[in-house]
Amino acid sequence: MAGAEHPSSPIESRADLIEAMARGCKPQSAWRIGTEHEKHVFHTNPLRPVTYDGPQGIRALLEGVQQLTGWEPFFDGDNPIGLRNNEIAGGISLEPGAQFELSGAPQEDLHGTAAELAEHMRVAKAAAAPLDIHFLGLGVTPTWSVAEIPSMPKSRYGIMAPYMEQVGTLGTSMMFRSCTVQANLDFSSEADMVRKLRVALALQPIATALFANSPFVDGRDSGFLSFRSHIWLNTDAARTGMLPFAFEEGFGFEQYADYALDVPMYFVIRDGQYVNVAGESFRAFLKGELPQLPGEKPTIKDWEDHLSTIFPEVRLKQFLEMRGADMGDEKSVTALSALWVGLLYDDISLEAAYEMIQPWTEGDREHLRREVPRLGLDTPLGRTNVYDFAAQAVGIAEAGLVRRDRRNAAGKDETIHLAPLEETIRLSQSPAERWLAKFNGEWNEDVTPIFREAEM
């Protein structure tokens, strides 16, 4: 059952909080690539969002995928809310607005990532076709308001949504109408984690510009190239952002734990049920002072759950999660992982990327985070702009993938998966800018053709 606790030890000391992240350290030979992506779902006859229940609903879609894969469903109450592949890590889950998410299994190379994604899309579309369910590869649903999107029956979202309304202006837009693609990568040591985290944080706005793919909202030009990224600028500042403290001398697992302790809680899971503790302090929980659970102290699983409710541009758990990109088409999903693998999994590339970001101040990083959602590749920085840094980052990543020299059956190395980014650099236009050209041209300012052209 979703939400049921795994057996977990009580937290005995501060060291336990740190160990929950530090045990992610692994030798380079054990590094893997995890890719997660979310897809909007929609009906075409007529064009509308997809509900959970009903003969053409999300529940029916999950049942169809289950029949084709044999994956096991997991539940919230009596409602299936996802599927697990019990043979290898990975599975399918639902976001609040029915975004259909694949959490990919750890892959040894990007060819495995691409193959996994292709198989997932084959199965998902086979199950979806009889239900008139289609998948849309965009960062934000281009038409429907939050109020028009049916909510999925997941208890944690019933806690999060009201709290989001209190702490930001677009938190529910993040929940119900945004989609991202995320790359999850490993580290070998605390020092390796720190170096990778700093590079990934600084370059996250560069990735946002390269993958910008959400220019429309409520049926019109939003004024942003990545409205999804703009949404995150207006979502609960206590748990989002660029983590400036990560660039301070002495940063490591302990300092991240201190930050996480001060992020307000959402929930605690007890007896398979979500206890609403939104806004409460994990520090109080450590003392047994949560009003909702008086005298009770947290377990390691409670801490891990709490770490999963923090949403900075790069999140640290037992691996690093790159969270800055809009969802796109199938090739762009693998391209996101290709960019970060090329930058972070090769020592020479990691050093080159670190040198590139070294001159940037905290003000520079915040400037990029603030302006890129609107200006994308044209965002100025110093005497140049984001386009130049993006081109440099893609070049560094390509060199890193060449040195990795991981070949597919046809003898091609992993650089083939950078093709969407090379096209963006060649055109000097993000996907969002290409959609806007159509919107202002052949579409006559009608956004609905995007449901056909951006369908996965």
Q: The dihedral of CA 393, 394, 395, 401: what is its sign?
A: positive
Confidence of residue 448 (pLDDT cuts 50, 70, 90): very high
The pLDDT assigned to 429 comes to 98
Go through the domains of the chain in sequence order and give each one's CATH number.
Answer: 14-453 (3.30.590.20)
DSSP state of 55: T
Residue 172 has pLDDT above 70, yes or no: yes
Helical packing angle, 419-427 and 386-404, nearest 10°: 150
pTM for the full model? Answer: 0.97
Residue 410 has pLDDT above 90, yes or no: yes
Contacts of 423 (CB under 8 A, 6+ apart): none
Q: What is the mean pLDDT of the segment spanning 182-198?
A: 98
CA–CA gap between residue 118 and residue 83 (Å, rounded): 18
Interval 72-89: pLDDT, tens: 999 999 999 999 998 888
The pLDDT assigned to 86 comes to 86
- Output the DSSP codes for 155-204: HHHHHHHHHHHHH-SSHHHHHHHB-EEEEEE--SSHHHHHHHHHHHHHHH
Residue 143 has pLDDT above 50, yes or no: yes
Interval 228-286: pLDDT, tens: 999 999 999 999 999 999 999 999 999 999 999 999 999 999 998 999 999 999 999 99
Q: What is the mean pLDDT of the segment spanning 203-215?
A: 98
φ, ψ of residue 109 in degrees (nearest 5): -150, 175
The pair of three-digit structure tokens given for residue 175, joined into one six-digit string = 């929940």
Interval 81-128: pLDDT, tens: 999 998 888 899 999 999 999 999 999 999 999 999 999 999 999 999
Distances (CA, A) of 436 to 139, 195, 209, 424, 453: 14, 37, 15, 15, 13
The pLDDT assigned to 2 comes to 36
Exposed / middle / buried, residue 182 (Cβ in 10 Å: 0-12, 13-18, 19+): buried
Contacts of 410 (CB under 8 A, 6+ apart): none
Q: What is the mean pLDDT of the segment spanning 48-71?
A: 98
The pLDDT assigned to 8 comes to 86
The pair of three-digit structure tokens given for residue 308, joined into one six-digit string = 């999963």
Residue 1 has pLDDT above 60, yes or no: no
pLDDT averaged over every residue in the chain: 97
Residue 5 has pLDDT above 50, yes or no: no
The pLDDT assigned to 245 comes to 98
The pLDDT assigned to 7 comes to 62
- The percent of residues in the chain predicted with pLDDT above 70, rounded, is 98
Helix, strand, coil % (nearest 5) of the chain?
A: 45, 20, 35
